[in-house]
């Protein structure tokens, strides 16, 4: 993960874009890219969408992560640390039931 974060931030910095990246705008960009991801699935089953648009789905997922990394950097958030903490909270909220596993 650290290598990907470094590559994303280097790409941004090489182009001098950091000064334009405000928290609000990065959050909006994440939402817009997530909606572009959703477009691939509109009016299709999951299987149909993946078969028809797998490459575009991958690109939209990458775009979301790129903007998320930039927002985390802007807010000085350690993504790995925060994800780990959230998984601990989720484990308490959604304990494993060995007789019945559910997907959230």
pLDDT value at residue 104: 61
What percentage of the chain exceeds 70 in pLDDT? 93
Q: Does 86 reside within a domain?
A: no
Cα–Cα distance measured from residue 20 to residue 34, given in angstroms and rounded to the nearest whole number: 21
CA–CA separation, 90 and 84 (whole Å) = 10
In a domain, 102, yes or no: no
For residue 83, is it within any domain?
Answer: no
> pLDDT at position 47, please?
98
Q: 38: buried, middle or exposed (CB in 10 Å: 19+, 13-18, 0-12)?
A: exposed
The total number of structural domains in the chain stands at 1
Which token pair is 90?
């989720």
Q: What CATH code is carried by the domain that includes residue 49?
A: 1.10.287.1080
pLDDT for 103 beyond 70: no
How many Cα atoms are found within 13 Å in the side-chain-facing hemisphere of 54?
4
Residue 94 domain-assigned (yes or no): no
Give the model's confidence band at 81: pLDDT under 50 very low, under 70 low, under 90 confident, else very high: very high
- Rounded mean pLDDT of 91-97? 95
Q: pLDDT confidence of 57, banded at 50, 70, 90?
A: very high
Q: How far apart are CA 69 and CA 89, in angstroms?
A: 22
Within-domain flag for 73: yes
**82 in a domain, yes or no?**
no
pLDDT band at 102 (very low <50, low <70, confident <90, very high): low
Query: Residue 70 sits in which domain range?
Result: 2-77
- Asked if 70 and 19 touch (Cβ cutoff 8 Å), the reply is no
């Amino acid at each position: 993960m650290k290598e990907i974060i470094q590559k994303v931030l280097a790409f941004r910095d090489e182009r001098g874009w950091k000064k334009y990246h405000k928290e609000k705008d990065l959050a909006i960009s994440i939402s817009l890219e997530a909606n572009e991801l959703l477009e691939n699935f509109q009016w299709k089953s999951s299987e149909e969408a993946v078969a028809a648009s797998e490459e575009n789905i991958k690109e939209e997922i990458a775009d979301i992560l790129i903007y998320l990394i930039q927002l985390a950097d802007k807010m000085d958030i350690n993504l790995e640390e925060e994800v780990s903490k959230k998984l601990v909270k989720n484990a308490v909220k959604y304990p494993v039931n060995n007789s019945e596993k559910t997907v959230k």
